[in-house]
Structure 1
Amino acid sequence: MADLNELKEEFVELLNEENPIENPPKMHEEEKTEWGTLNEEIEYIDPQFRSTKSSLDSQELSYKLEKKLELLDFELNKFKNANEKLETILKSAKDKEKDAKKLNETLEKKLEQVKLEQSAWVEKQQKAIRQREKARKDSQKNLAAAISHNEREEFNNLKQQFQALQEERKRKENRDNKVISKLTREKMELQNKLFELEERSRDRRRSPIVPASRSTAETQTPIEEEKGNIEALTPIEIFSAHSRVLEVVKQSTLSDGRVQKTLADGHILIVFPDGMRQEKYQNNYKITYFPNRDIKQDFPDGSTQYFFAETGAFQKVYANGKQTIRFNNGQTEKHYNDGSKKIIYPDGTVKRITSNGEEVCMFMDGVVERTDNKGVKQLIHPGGNIEMTETN
C-alpha cells in the first residue's frame, strides 16, 4: 500500500516537472482511506490473492491515473481559458491606453492652437490700441494747427471787448453806488420828517382837545393808528415810510384780519395779520414786505424782483422767463429759457453753460476752458497751445 502511494506521488511530481502548475492537485484523505481499506479487506478474505496484489494495484493505479489525467486536462483547459481571458483584458487595456494617449495628444495640439490664437488676438488688440492712440495724437496736433492767425486775432478782439465791458460794469457800479448813497440820504431825510411828525403827534396828544363832533373823532382815529404803524416800521422800508407820510383817505378791515388803507396819491396799503405789508399802485406796480425782511417787487411789464434779506441777493424774473440773480459777493447769474446759463464771477471770470451741457469758461488771463457734454476738457492758451484732458 505504501509502495502504491509513493508511486502515485512520483507520477504526480513527474507530471509537474513536465507541465508545472502553481497548485498541483493532492490526494484527498478519503481516497487514501479507501485504498487502505480495500487492501486490508483483500488480504483478510483471501490470502491467496496476495500473489495477485501487484496486478490489482496496477489496474487500480491505471484507473486512478486516468482519472487524475482527466482532472489535470480539465484544470489545464480551465487555466488556458483564464489565460485567454486575461490576454483579452490586457489587449483591451492596451488599446484603451493607446486611445487615451491619442486623445491626450489631440487635446495638447488643440490647447497649443488656442494659445497661438489668443496670442494673435492680444497682439491685434494692442496694435489697434496703438493705432487709435496715434490717431488721437495726430488729431490733437491738427486741432492745434487749425487755430489760424485770424482766429487768434478774433480772440484778442474779444478779450479787449471783455475788458471794456468790465470797465463799463465798474463805471455802472460806481454810478449805482452814488444812486444808493443818494437814496440813503433821502431815507435819512424821510426818517427825520417822520420824527418831526411823531413829535407833533405827541404835542397834540398832550394838549386837551375835545372833539367837536363824531366826524372829527373819526378823522383823529387814523392819525393815532398811523402813529402806531410808524413806530413799528424798520429803517429799510423806504417806500413804506414814504407811504405813511401821505394822508389816509380810506381804511377798512377785511374778514380775514387784513387792514386795507387807501392813501392820498391813490395807491393801496394792505397790512396782513402776520406783519406782511403790501403796496399797490395805479400803474400795476406792487411791492411786498415780508416779516423776514425780504422784499418782492412786481413791475407793470410782468417782471418781478425779489430781495433776500438774509443773504443780500437779488433775483429778477422777466416776463419771458429769463432770470437774473445777483449775489452779495458780486457774482451774477443769468438763466435762459432754453436751460443755458451765464455766470460772471467777482474776479471777472465768465462761464457759459449751454442747454446740452457744454461749458465755456473765460479767465482774466486769457485762458479759455471748454468742456463738452462727454467730459472732454480743452484748455486753449493765449499763445494757441491746446491741452486736452478727459474727466472720469
Structure 2
Amino acid sequence: MVRVLFLHPDLGIGGAERLVVDAALALKERGHNVSFLTNHHDSTHCFKETADGTFPVRVIGDWLPRKLFGRFYAFCAYFRMLYAAIYASFFMPQREQVDVVICDLISVCIPVLRLAKHRPRVLFYCHFPDQLLSAQEGLLKRLYRFPINWLEEHTIGLANKVLVNSKFTLRVFRDTFRRLKTVPDVLYPSLHTQYFDQMQKKLDQRAEILDEPVHPRVPRNSFIYLDINRYERKKNHALALHSLRLLADLLPDIDFKRCRLIIAGGYDTRCLENVEHFAELEKLVEKLKLQDHVILLRSPTDEEKCRLLFAAHCLLYTPENEHFGIVPLEGMYCSKPVVALNSGGPTETVVHTSTGFLCEQQPKSFGGAMYQLFRDEPLRMKMGEQAHKRVQQKFSFQAFADRLNGIIQELTSIPKQTRSKKTE
C-alpha cells in the first residue's frame, strides 16, 4: 500500500477536477491510501466523491485572497498553493505523511515538496501549460507574467515524474518548455465507467416509477443536443447557438420545433467570467430568437448530468484546441455521437464519421453535422454504438488504473536519496 496525497488548488467541478477524482478512485481500488489537500472545497459545488466521505479532504489556506485589487489572480493562486505545499511538507501530522504527492495545474509547489523531511515522490500532471491559458496583452501583463512563466518551466523540471493528458498536449509542452530535458509520458484520462453503469440502472429504475421529462421545458418528443462545459468564453458555447440558428434554416418548421439545445455548464458565483458569460449567452439566445429551443443550466449535479447524457441524441463539444476534454468520452460511453472541432484532444478521442464528426469552427460546418445526425437516425445509432465500443477499448478505466498504479509503484521504488535527473 502506498500513501498518496493529491494536492489540487480548488476541488470544484471541471475536467481537471474530474481527472484527479478518477485518479484517486483508481488508486483506492488498487489498495492505496488516498487523500486530498486543497485551497478550497465547497461541498455544494464539487464532485460527490470529495464530499461524501469517499476520500479525506483537508482545506488549507482558503482564507488567503484569491485576487488583489481585482487583479493578480495568478500570483494569488501560486501563493495559496505554496502555502498548502509548506503545510504538507513541514506541518502535516506525522501519521498523515505520504509516500507520493500528485499535483497538477500549479507547479510552484514542487520544490517545496521535494524539501520535505519525509521525501515524498512528486508526480506532476500537466493538463496544459498555464502560461498559454493566460492572455498576454500589454507590456505590463507580460512583465507580470514573466517571473510566473519562468517559475512554471523551472519547477516542472523538479518533479520525479511528469505526465500529460494527450499527444497534443505533449507537442505543446515540448514547444513551450524548450529548456527542459523532461520527457513527459502520455496518460489519457478515463471514465469511472462503473459509476455510469450504476447511474444508468438507478435512472432506469426511477423511470419505471416516475415517467418525467428530462426538463420541464423539453417535450417528450424532442431531439436533444447537449453541450456540457463551464461558462467560460473559451469554451465557445456561442458556436452551438449560432449552429442551432442555422439548423432552423435547414429544417422544416415542424422538425425544428422538436429541437432543443441544453447547455449544462459549471457555474461559480465567485468567478466573474462565469457570471458575465452566462448573461452574455442569455442575450445571444434572445438575439437569435431561440428562447423556445435553448435551456441554460448552471452546475447540474452528477445525477442530473448523467440523466442529460442518457436522454440526449448527440453531444456538442465546442472548445477550440482543447487539451483533452473528458466530456466527449462521457458522451461516447453513453452511446452518443460527438460533434467537436477538428483540433486538440478531440482529434484523439473522436473518430471522424465513425464515432461523430470533427468540424471546422464555423456554423456551416458544425450545423451541417447537427443536421445530418437529426435526419439520419440509423447513422446516429451506429455512431453511438461505435463510440461506446471505442471508450471501452481505448479509454477503459481498468487500463487507466493499471497504468497509473504502475507509475506509482515505479516512483516508490526509487531510493529516497536519489534526486530527479529530469531538471535543466
TM-score grouping bracket, smaller chain normalisation: under 0.3
TM norm structure 1: 0.16
Larger Rg: 1
Normalising to structure 2: TM-score of the pair?
0.15
Higher relative contact order (CA 8 A, sep 6+): 2
Q: Which has the higher helix share?
A: 1
